[in-house]
Structure 1
Amino acid sequence: MSIVEYTKRNILTYSLTAIWILAIPLIAYLSSIDVKFAVLLLGGVFGLALAGVAVMNYRAGYYIAVTVALTVRVLERMSGAELSVGVVIDAMLLITILGSLMNQDDKSIRKIDFIRDPLLISFYIYTGLILLEFFNPAVHDRHGWTTFARGLLRNYLFMFLVMKLIRNMKDLQFFLKFWITILTIAAIYACIQQWFGLLPFEKSFIARYPEKFKTVLIITGIRIFSFMSDPAVFGLLMACGVIINITLLTSSQKLISIRKKVLLVISMILQFMALGYSGTRTAYIMVPMGILILVLINLKNRNTIIGVALFVLAFLVMMFGPFHNSPTIVRIRTAFSGTEDASLNVRDVNRHRIQPYIYSHPIGGGLLSCEPGSGTELDGFPPDSGYLRTALEQGPIGLILVMINLYLLLKYAIANYFNGKTEEEKQFALTVACVLFALTVSMYAQEASGLIESAMLYYGLNGIVIKTKYLSTTNINK
């Protein structure tokens, strides 16, 4: 270790120690005045400590940033006040990016052809359209453009970080382990909410900000959101977790031992229950869509056939079994068997009504023009679909660019599977492909790539797909 690095580490250690020593009496004092101040201060202290770690180790910083983004809502609800969650996430991300630029240990990132890669070019062209949207004559206020561009930049930075993170199969394995773990913890928290009810500070926060939880209360009960922002994004991530577990369970014992498979089964059951409690119909559809890709790509695998047979059996029992008093099962059934639910009918009516607007606006009505208060013709229009929102706000041109990007992404993901030389490479590539396809399908009814929590996973998988293409078998297993 050089003298500069040694000095830098010492300064960081002493600074963090001093902050903790000063924070202890201050937190105790503020707790006696108002618990909200204590929670905010405690969050600030933890934030400073985590920021220091992120600068020194950008790999740890990435996982810290994701964990903070997934769990920061709990701190918001405990404080009883609205927090600038996006600012917190952006701060952690920028600090981590700074740490990655200071650390040049990843030589494999240089293998990526950032200039001529077709998938990356599709990102560049789409970014050009977003820059052009700033001059869209249909826009009344540029605030929507600023907000959207900031979110897109955040997603790109997460994708770049994952490209740097994944140097070999060991890194990819740890990435999947992390997401399985954090999603299992979220599932456990959701089960507690369902079985024992929401915690007092959560009920208090809902009562104080009811507009944030309009979709939580439904006829069949409360839609569970765990420690995430809302039930929709929670359901999408639970579906992704279930797909990851199911795909990995088809591995041989040589790759994943029986003990680890038992843990995966437990994780899958918890996540599947939490998925049901979320009440997110789109997420219910995602699971069979992910399994569909698994079957089409890997049908020759004996474990795949056994796993799919068990899944189909469980699905038939759930759909046609004598479970008529469970609101969760009833809602799941409506996602597959059809329903006269007014909300679904309204969505179809809205889509047909708005089609003439799409045809007459080649670059759309402007970014976030569907949001209430935008001042445009689309002000307050509920797209209820990532693709429809793209068509409305970015026009047919934007939708075409998005579809080209998704086509190339899925093409890369599937090609990575067939180009894999070992079972490990093939299995992890298959897992990524299944989750990406499910998320692509989900965008028909949800905005998976636009929600902070699900976007982190989606763009992280984008980074994995791109990086895996440029890692040879020799380098990927070093």
Structure 2
Amino acid sequence: MKEWLFEKIIDEKLNNLFGLVTLLLLSVVSAVLIAFWGMKGGAMILSVVIGAPIAIYTIINNQFGYLLLIVFSTFMGFISRALSVNIPFGVGIDLILVLMFSGIILEQIFSNKEDKGKDFSLTNPISVMIFVWTAYLLLQVFNPAGTPAGWMFGLRNILRVFVAFIIAQRVFKDLKSVDTFVSLFIGIGLVVALYGIYQEFVGLPAFDLKWATATEERINLLFIQGKWRKWSFLSDPAIFGLFMAFGSIIGFILSLGPFSWKKRSFFFASGFLMLLAMFFSGTRTAYVMLPLAVVIYVLINITKVKTLIFAILSVMLFLVVYFGPFYAKPIVRFRSAFNPTEDASMNLRDFNRQRIQPYIHSHPIGGGLTTSGVYGERFSPGHPLAGFPPDSGFMKVLLETGWVGLLLMLALYSTVLAVGISNYYKCEDPIIKSYYAAFIASFFALSIALYAKENIEQFPQNLILYGIFVLMYKMQKFDVKKLA
């Protein structure tokens, strides 16, 4: 498949029947889109003209494609806001993932290479749990309490996780590929942080302000205590705050690792700026992630003097920020994150959880996919859960897939952590150990954030997470010292 595409596009430069048919179809589709959708159609055409060659190359080079999707998914919301056009970039990302996955399947079927399956591991504990979780969600189609439309909408997210996980197995072939992956998303986090800081100190650009004030509901969400929460290039302040907390945890931990001073400086500076930007998001769940990450990092490195010094400094910094004479609004909001009983929104969430308990007890496999919250109103109108705000990833899973689904999801996350911690102690390469420590601490903190946030798996963080799932079991294969 790859060889055929390379020959038709690169060697023959589309001067063939394939090229003629492709260009003819593009011309017809372009005319129709512009005629019916005007500027939006033109933007879609431009995306296709630029994206088609890239999409084809992603089939040939999965590592390039996966990293490109991480970069593109970071900025797609910003592009839509800047152009004031709601472009369905998510559909394009899913399409590229499907193309890459299809290329992998075709290669496994038709390729004569003896090592064609060496990059994949379908029997390790994490892969098994991914398959079990995916199968359970697919079987939700038979849930009598669910709706066909809700399940069909949820199917897209189900398949995205499965497909991205399989592709990610192909991305990481050696330690260099891990270095590239980490440097890329830390670099992206740095850029995202800098724009968030720009929004804070310079102000919101006109197109960002226009988007923020488009609806009363959005204003109420983004304008808190007389100040705009920041979202940088991402879709909303919540995912911005979580992404900044996640990236800063990894950056700080890697800055303690056995890297060159330039790389350690890069990790530390990126971590610091992401930490600063996180405060401007106003996402209190992100604030709680930091001490959680410190706790798990200290526990897995409790015998190291450097770790104890790090723990002491972290506690001192927390105490200074929490009890110090600082009254800026981000600091005040940070303190409120550690006093949930005094928070009206948290008390409302607890009330809602108690109110919905009878339904949870009577539905062990849940009410069906996409039946709760705003999307429940859209795809499952009239359902008992439609419009009910989960306000928590755990609660959403519990409502829609029941306690059976919640246990499976917790088993998946626990397996990821268990495999990572086990391999952390087994490996001998100090660089790989540093990566394991960073991934374990950041993922643990992010998984706990599901208690207060409905969905931690949004772009670009979801693609990064799927890569980390793979690396939790695969990095130990790159341990040269152990293999020697």
With the shorter chain as reference, the TM-score category is 0.7 to 0.9
Partner in structure 2 of residue 280 of structure 1: 283
Equivalent residue in structure 2 for 1:332, among 328, 331, 334: 334
Contact 1:442–1:448 (8 Å) recurs in 2? no
1:277 is displaced (CA, Å) by: 0.6
**Residue 242 of structure 1, aligned match among 238, 248, 252:** 248
Which residue in the other structure is 2:92 paired with?
88
Bigger mean CA offset, 34-43 vs 353-362: 34-43
Deviations 1:112-141 (A, max 9, x none): 552x433333222222221221121112x3
Corresponding residue for residue 227 of structure 1: 233
Report the equivalent of 1:380: 387
Deviation at 1:103? 6.5
Shift of 1:224: 0.7
In the aligned structure 1, how far is the partner of 2:178 from the partner of 2:93? 23
Residue 157 (structure 1) aligns with:
163
Between stretches 179-188 and 404-413, larger displacement belongs to: 404-413
Q: Which region of structure 1 is more displaced relative to structure 2, 434-443 or 447-456? A: 447-456
Distance of aligned partners of 1:452 and 1:260 in 2 relative to their CA distance in 1, 3 Å threshold: closer
| Secondary structure, counterpart of 1:224 in structure 2 | coil
1:365 corresponds, among 350, 362, 367, to: 367
Match of 1:442 in 2: 449
Give the deviation of 1:99 after TM superposition: 4.7
For 1:268, the equivalent position in structure 2 comes to: 271
Supply the distance in 2 between the matched residues of 1:379 and 1:76 (Cα, whole angstroms): 29
Identify if the C-alpha distance between structure 1 residues 89 and 459 changes in structure 2 by more than 3 Å, giving closer, same or farther. Answer: same
Structure 1 Cα separation of the partners of residues 318 and 117 of structure 2: 43
Cα deviations by residue, 1:374-425 (Å, 9 ceiling, x for unpaired): 2211111111111111111101111111111122111101011011021122
The equivalent residue for 1:345 is 347
Q: Is the 8 A contact 1:369 1:376 kept in 2?
A: yes
- Distance between the aligned counterparts of 1:437 and 1:67, measured in 2? 24
Partner-residue secondary structure (3-state), 2:373: coil
Quick check: 1:239–1:271 contact (8 Å CA) kept in 2? Answer: yes
* 2:458 is equivalent to residue 451 of structure 1: yes
Matches of 2:237 and 2:383 in 1, distance apart? Answer: 29
Partner of 2:411: 404
Q: Deviations over 1:424-465 (max 9, x none)?
A: 221111111111111111111113444343322222211212
How many correspondences in the alignment? 460
Q: How far apart, in 2, do the equivalents of 1:358 and 1:473 lie?
A: 46
Closer, same or farther in 2 for the Cα pair 1:132/1:7, shift >3 Å? closer
Deviation readout 1:297-345 (Å, 9 max, x if unpaired): 1123333233333322222221111111x11111011112445221111
1:121 aligns with 2:128: yes
SS of the aligned residue for 2:96 comes to: helix
Instruction: Tell me how far apart the structure 1 counterparts of residues 402 and 446 of structure 2 sit (CA, whole Å).
Output: 22
| Unmatched segments (≥5 aa) in structure 2 | none
Pick one of 54, 59, 64 that aligns with 1:60: 64
- In structure 2, the CA distance between the partners of 1:210 and 1:100, relative to structure 1 (3 Å rule), is farther
Q: Is the 8 A contact 1:358 1:364 kept in 2?
A: yes
Residue 3 of structure 1 deviates from its aligned partner by 9.2
- Distance in 1 (alpha carbons) for counterparts of 2:233 and 2:152: 28
CA deviation map 1:274-305 (0-9, x unaligned): 11011111111111111211101112333323
Q: What one-letter code is carried by the residue in structure 2 that aligns with 1:444? A: Y
RMSD over aligned CA atoms reads 3.0
SS at match of 1:395: helix
Verify: 1:433 aligned to 2:440, yes or no.
yes
Tell me the distance in 2 between the aligned counterparts of 1:121 and 1:438.
Answer: 23
User: Could you tell me which residue of structure 1 aligns to residue 214 of structure 2?
Assistant: 208
Distance 1:308 1:170 in 2: 30
Aligned sequence identity (%) = 32
1:197 to 200, 203, 220: 203
Sort the Cα spacing of 1:12 and 1:312 in 2 relative to 1 into closer, same or farther, 3 A.
farther
Query: Contact (CA 8 Å) 1:122, 1:405: kept in 2 or not?
Result: yes
Letter in 1 for 2:462: A
